[in-house]
Each structure stands twice: as structure tokens, then as C-alpha cells.
Homo-oligomer: A and B are copies of this chain.
Amino acid sequence: MGLLSEFDQRDRAKLGDEMHRFTADLYPICRSITGNGIRQTLKMIQDRIPLETFEVPTGTAVFDWIVPKEWNVRDAYIKGPNGQRILDFQECNLHLLNYSMPVRATMSLSALKPHLFTIPEKPDWIPYRTSYYKEDWGFCLSHNQMLALQDGEYEVCIDSTLANGYLTYGECYLPGRSTDEILISCHACHPSLANDNLSGLSVATFLAQILSGRDLRYSYRFLFIPGTIGAITWLARNRDTIGCIRHGLVLTCLGDRGPFHYKKSRQGNAEIDRATAHLLRQYSESPKILEFSPYGYDERQYCSPGFNLAVGCLMRSVWGTFPEYHTSADNLNFIHPKQLAESLGLCADIFDVLEENRRYRNLNPYCEPQLGRRNLYRSTGGGAIEAQINARLWVLNLSDGEHSLLDIAERSGHPFPLIHAAAEALQESGLLAIIPETSRGLEEESQENTAHSSGDQSCGSSSHS
């Protein structure tokens, strides 16, 4: 039982190494919200999982937004008064203000300075800055490097294009028995930043790889999209099938050494919120559960009031709170194989809960059934019973049609897998029956009953190309 049950500790260590290598491969690429960087990234993900990519033309209206021009960079640098390149995009793509328009000019230091971005508090680090929706240009550099700049004439070259083109995103749909789906979304628009969000891309990719080809209750949809505009574009193009999303996770910052943090969905008490909180209590007595707020990653869009999807955000360290965030220090040394693998494991555990969380009915609801003659109890009375038997009593007592296994796990304090195992043992003994549920989409397992009731809601893999 369990999506990762066939992976032992050594397998997981190997997985972590492999995930870290994958982030290392992706690291040098200059990604942005459009352009060849994200295309190349999706191609590398496609080597591992069945990813469909979509190209949405510049100018396409998506809700209140317009798909912006496509941005590509051939080269960018600043040459100092002595004619040497003092800042070079080829060396580090963070040097260039992301989405800078093309520039070729010579100017004094004082004219240049308003276009330079540094972090005075971390004088050796290069910041990451963007200007997506206002045409601008600029360079990012360490504060020490800026302080060392001499007066004189500087040659600025940004050999970029900002032109009609496409917004690119990738989607991996893994159909399950039900068309009800779990959405996993991560942003793929950051350049050379490891934790935010190559770690998320890596965890999502490896999750999809592990789930692929399995017999699953839910369908899974993985989105690799540019932040904000990508989520908005996807939502705008998939309004008809959004009703199939039952649970969702935004994945980001999953490779550093911080403890897990889970930011709840706007609903606040959705099954995904409760499942994740339940699991995090096993990592820590005071798990880091954050209330929803409308600022953050793409949960902002999924949880906008018109959708209000049950989508939370899973992180280790929280964006904006660790000093390396959005700087050159968020590099490959900042993320670790062990933490990546552990994050993958937690996601798999969350899916395990969602997959197995059902309501059962106690078929002997009057008094306890006699577990002893079914070999589900201990034989000599008078001493203590084990957790396994206690879990069975809980499942019997609360399987009244109202309580799901997750409800029972929460109320009993037993871990979900123990409760689930108890339910399975009781079901095998004929003491418990699954209560069939009507899916929002279309359950293959009970197709005849629900085929018509699912109505005009057409779920399943996206039909546009």
C-alpha cells in the first residue's frame, strides 16, 4: 500500500540524487514567462513524462489579462570605461533584468545607475528582478561590484527581442478511474534559481513519472507553467473542465533544509488541507500550517473567488522569508537530494490519503461485532490492546456514513495508514462496506450509475491543442 511503498530507503536516496541532477541540468537555462527558456525546460521534462505543450499567441485575451510579447535574449552585457565586459549575461542570467527590452547605448555611470539593482544587505549576492508588464531594462549585480564602479562611459548592450510570439506551457494528464482530478501546479518561469522553483519542477516531474501507468482512483493533472500569466492562461482556456478539480497543490521551494510549510487553500478546511495537516503532524508536533492569503504563488489564481478551488501550496522554507530567496544564493548548493526526496515522499503520502480516503458503513452498527472469532482481536483478556486493534474499534465506531477515514484518523490520533489498514481488514471480514460516492466528474468504477448525473460537465484530458 502506498505509492512509494516499493521504494526503500536506498531507493529514495537514489531518487534524491537523480532529482538533484535533474535540477542541475535545468539550472543554466534562462527562463522567463515566455520564450525559448521555458520551451527548452519543458522539452527536458518531456524526456521523462508524457507532457503535452501548448503555445498561446501573444495578444490572446485571458480574463483581465493579455498574453504578452515573447521575450528572447541572445546576449547582454555592460562594458566598463576600459572596454571590458563587467557584467555578462552569459556568465549568469540573473544579471539581466528579466524581460528587459533591447538596448544599445553608451552612458555615464550616473545615467546607468537607475538601471542597476543590488542587495545592500547581502553585498555579494546578485538579486533577481523582473519587469514583465512595464517596458524597461536593467541589470542586477552584487552590491560590492556596484560600489567598485568608476566614473566614466559605460556601453550597455541588451540583444533581446520582445515581439509577437507565444506563451508556452506544459501539461501532463494521467487519467485515473475517476475523472475527478488532482491538480499539481508549478511555475517554470524562473531563470537560474534552484529552490524557487527548480525544486518544484523536479518534484512534480518525478511524481508524474511514478504515478504514470498506475491504476489510480483520481486523475492527475500536472501543470508546468509561467507564474501568474501562465495560471491565468490555463484557467481561461480550461474553464469547462475546472469543475473536475477536487484537490490541488502548488509546489515550490521544496529542496532546502527548512521544515515543511503548508499554506491552506482559501476554503481552509478542504480535504487537501486536512490531509496535509494530518501528515505534517507526523513530522512535527507543531506543524507549520499557514492560513490562506491572496499573495504568494499560483494558488492566488486557483483560489480567486470565482474558482475557489481546493488548492494549497506546499513548501519547505517560505518564499520571501529566507535570505537566499530571489538571489544568486538560491543556487544548486542551496538544495539537497535528501530534502528533494523527502518532499517527493510527502507528496506521495498526501496522494495516498486522498486516494484511500472514503466513507465506510459499519454493517453491524449495534454494539461491537465480535472481532475475536474473526481473528481481529487478541485472545487472552485483561491486558492492553495494540494500536492495530484500537484502530479497528475506531473505524467500526465512526463508520456511520458521516465520517471518512481521514475524519477517523484525526479524531483517533492514529496515522492514516493504520486507519486505512483497519478499514481494509474489516472490509475483508465483511464487517464494513464502502459507501459509493458520486464524483463531480465521471467514475469509471460506477459508470452506469453516474454517467448521466455528471451532466454537461465534460472532464478529462484537455481537448484543445
Contact = CB atoms under 8 A, between A and B. Distances in A.
B372 A133 contact: yes
A397 B305 contact: yes
A288 B295 CA distance: 31
Contact of A65 (B295, B306, B370): B370
A320 interface: yes
A412 interface: yes
A307 interface: yes
- How many copies altogether? 3
B385 A295 contact: yes
A127 interface: yes
B397 A294 contact: yes
B304 A379 contact: no
B293 A394 contact: yes
A240 interface: no
Interface in A264-316: 266, 293-295, 300-301, 303-308
A64 B368 CA distance: 8
A119 to B, nearest CB: 10
Contact of A304 (B130, B367, B383): B367
A366 B295 contact: no
Contacts of A366: 63, 235-236, 239, 304, 306-307
A22 interface: no
Contact of A326 (B239, B320, B382, B390): B382
A134 B365 contact: no
Interface residues of A, number: 62
Contacts of A136: 379-380
Interface string A364-391: 1111111011000001111111000010
Contact of A379 (B131, B367, B384): B131
B129 A320 contact: no
A63 B304 contact: no
A158 to B, nearest CB: 16
A220 interface: no
A390 B129 CA distance: 19
B367 A129 contact: no
Contact of A364 (B63, B128, B228, B383): B63
A46 to B, nearest CB: 27
Contacts of A303: 397
A454 to B, nearest CB: 23
B132 A266 contact: no
B305 A362 contact: yes
**Which of A231, A366, A370 has the most chain B CB within a 10 Å cutoff?**
A366
Given A266-B397, A367-B231, A379-B131, A293 B373 contact: no
Nearest to A239: B366
A225 B390 CA distance: 24
Given A129-B382, A131-B379, A367 B64 contact: yes
B64 A295 contact: no
A355 B98 CA distance: 45
A232 interface: yes
A400 interface: yes
Contact of A64 (B232, B370, B383, B399): B370
B382 A301 contact: no
A362 B195 CA distance: 34
A191 B117 CA distance: 69
A293 B412 contact: yes
A398 B128 contact: no
A373 B68 CA distance: 13
A301 B368 contact: yes
Contact of A381 (B131, B232, B385): B131
26 contacts: A62-B367, A63-B366, A97-B380, A127-B382, A128-B382, A129-B380, A130-B380, A130-B382, A131-B380, A133-B370, A133-B379, A134-B380, A136-B380, A236-B367, A293-B390, A294-B397, A295-B390, A300-B397, A304-B368, A305-B365, A306-B366, A306-B367, A307-B367, A308-B400, A326-B382, A326-B383
Q: Nearest 4 A-B pairs (CB), nearest first?
A: A306-B365, A294-B397, A130-B381, A306-B366
